[in-house]
Amino acid sequence: MAILNIVKDGDEILRKKSKDIEKIDDKLLTFIQDMKDTMEKAGGVGLAAVQVGKLRRVLVINTGEEELTLINPKMLKSGGSQEDLEGCLSCPGQWGITRRPMKVEVETLTTEGKKVKVKAEGFLAKAICHEMDHLEGKLFYDDAVRMLTQEEIENL
Ligand code: NI
């Protein structure tokens, strides 16, 4: 297990587009485990590879109820809408209200290399959208409905 360094807002790598994973091998699986350990230690719900400095299309999510690893994910469908509080491990101290789809359906490779469809709703759908945005070089505040003031953050 290794705890990786989380890249912070302001580092230009976060604005770059990640590239597809071409091969699922032991090296990748170890990296995914390191991502999970890093996310857990940082107290986050999701982490994309770019946030630990690798421009690869892989992300991990753990909402406490559901755990997901997505490899080369593609959005198939999205619907509905939700507004909720959002932050990011790469953007410490920043919180905003975002508008995200309420439901999503994504196609992804599993860690065994199988192509599957994943349906998600509510909080998990929001987390998937947040992490998939990282793969495109987007950050949650880019189109947040609004950002919280310092006073609001102190009262969270
Ligand atoms: Ni993030």
State the distance from the centre of ligand 1 to the C-alpha of 139, rounded, in angstroms. 7
Ranges of the chain whose pLDDT falls below 70: none
The residue to which tokens 């491990």 are assigned: 89
Q: Which residues surround ligand 1, an ion (CB under 5 A)?
A: 88
110 CA → ligand 1 middle, Å = 21
What values do phi and psi take at 78, rounded to 5?
-150, 150
Condensed to tens digits (0 to 9), the pLDDT of residues 18-36 reads 999 999 999 999 999 999 9
What is the distance in A from the centroid of ligand 1 to the CA of 51?
Answer: 8
127 CA to middle of ligand 1, Å?
Answer: 9
Instruction: Identify whether the C-beta of residue 42 lies closer than 8 Å to the C-beta of residue 89.
Output: yes
Q: Contacts for 59-68 with beta carbons within 8 Å, 24 or more apart?
A: 59/35, 59/131, 59/132, 59/134, 59/135, 60/32, 60/35, 60/36, 61/124, 61/127, 61/128, 61/131, 62/36, 63/123, 63/124, 63/127, 65/124, 66/120, 66/124, 68/118, 68/124, 68/128
Question: What pLDDT is stored for residue 2 in this prediction?
Answer: 93
Sign of CA dihedral 40, 103, 149, 146: positive
Output the pLDDT for position 156. Answer: 87
Active site residues: 131
For residue 124, the model assigns a pLDDT of 98
pLDDT at 107: 98
CA distances for 1 relative to 33, 35, 148, angstroms: 7, 9, 35
